Amino acid sequence: MTLKDNYPDYDESVANLHTVNGMVLLASPCLGCEKMFVSNPNHVPSFHNQPICRECVEQANEKRAEMGLDPHPIHPEAYEALPEEELR
């Protein structure tokens, strides 16, 4: 059985012109709460390379605010998929 058998509209003449773009997500346990979560490996907040989930960072920022400290920044893409071409 060939692709043409399964997909009658499949055009072999343009098959090699199509590219597939992927996304990258880091799945890991949170350093703070140990729950599994997904994040963007380039932007997720971490401590000693251990990723921290949004909920834990937000809780830490609330405590920091109470102590008069600046919040830890959360990158807007920290918990979004990373396009594969941006993987470093």
Sketch the domain layout of the chain as residue ranges.
31-38+47-88
Residue 11, pLDDT > 60, answer: no
% residues pLDDT > 90 (the chain): 64
Provide the mean pLDDT of the chain: 85
Cβ–Cβ under 8 Å, residues 45 and 74: yes
pTM: 0.71
Q: Which residues contact 78 (CB under 8 A, 6 or more apart)?
A: 39, 40, 43, 44, 45, 54
Residue that wins the pLDDT comparison between 21 and 64 = 64
What does the pLDDT average to over 31-60?
A: 96
